[in-house]
Copies of this chain bind each other. A is one copy, B any other.
Amino acid sequence: MTTDAPGRRQVTLRDVAQLAGVSVATASKAINGKAEVSAETRRRVLDVAERLSFTPNALARAMLDGHTGTVGLLTHDLEGRFSLPILMGAEDAFGAGRSSVLLCDSRGDAIREQHHLSTLLGRRVDGLIVVGSQTDARPPLGRDLPVPVVYTYAPSTDPADASVVPDNVTAGRIAVEHLLATGRRRIAHVSGDVTYAAATDRAAGADAALAEHGLERVGPVRYGSWSEAWGRSSVAALLEQDVDAVVCGSDQIARGVLDALHDRGVRVPDDVAVIGFDNWEPMIAGCRPALTSIDMNFQIMGRRAAERLFASQEGRDPGGVETVTPRVIVRESTGG
């Protein structure tokens, strides 16, 4: 009466060969599609391999060709809702290329990051993806690392490193252009923490788009915090001027704005259009009316990071910062 020990030994190539009545060498060739095996033998081997659900030992392979087929993913905070779509995009791309992801969360701690770095290098990952916590640049992991590194969300401070980042300037531009296209002209801007590059970049893009159309923002960019509460409390000041649209620095802020407008009897989108950033489903799901939002395409960012990592491994990535273009998701709040 033991604990039902997970005893079953792993199936090896030798087991397959034995059961198929061939040598290990032949079994290997059959499975790897090498030429010098008769069709009949190959079929038999493959049959047995299937039946035993044989999986070649990745470690043994790694020893031979020097590639482990694993990549390290170093994130700064899993909690943040930005890491997740990036991670999914990357996992997707790697899954297709038969690489596996070793996940490490440094919790924003540089010491922990270094520690995770050495374990990952000890496991001989083929590459690393580093996911930052803000869009502000961060110092590179280290010099002369034995594997390629791609920074994402936050670029490396070294412009020669490979980085994939969201394009917040264009995001701001797209938001304004959408509002202009739907006939708005008097556009105000409420955003989050001014110390975040994401906030100022979006504002810069928005202003640029306005300027190109010979318009000016209504009022200052009202920086505050990334919260619904800030969105709500900003509305009083906003309505002191004549506005027909509000660009909100995040979906959370937008939701606060929507709430406050609703309480004051301001109709959306009839009187005022509202647009947010991030296209964060759970936040948007509850908005009334449904919120138009700029999707930063984080999942695509993750995929691009993975693709560039592959390219780096083959020595054909030029390095440098690459931006991912966001897209607008039109819903009711802008009168779509």
Contact = CB atoms under 8 A, between A and B. Distances in A.
Contacts of A102: 70, 100-103
A11 B112 CA distance: 21
Interface in A268-313: 282-283, 285-286, 312
Interface stretch (A115-123, A171-179, A184-192, A201-209): A115-123
Given A6-B147, A10-B121, A70-B102, 15 more contacts: A3-B316, A3-B319, A6-B146, A6-B149, A6-B312, A8-B145, A55-B121, A78-B87, A87-B103, A98-B119, A101-B103, A252-B286, A255-B286, A282-B282, A282-B283
Interface stretch (A34-42, A58-66, A241-249, A326-334): A58-66
A119 B59 contact: no
A228 interface: yes
Contacts of A60: 63
Nearest to A4: B160
B256 A286 contact: yes
Nearest to A128: B6
A286 B84 contact: no
**Copies of the protein in its oligomer:** 2
Nearest to A63: B59
A81 interface: yes
A149 B3 CA distance: 13
B88 A79 contact: yes
A135 to B, nearest CB: 19
Interface in A5-62: 5-11, 53, 55-60, 62
A227 interface: yes
Nearest to A255: B286
Closest 5 CB pairs of A and B: A228-B286, A55-B122, A8-B144, A103-B103, A58-B122
A286 B119 contact: no
A285 B228 contact: yes
A90 to B, nearest CB: 10
Contacts of A214: none
A285 B332 CA distance: 24
A55 B142 CA distance: 14
A91 B102 CA distance: 11
B53 A118 contact: yes
A315 interface: yes
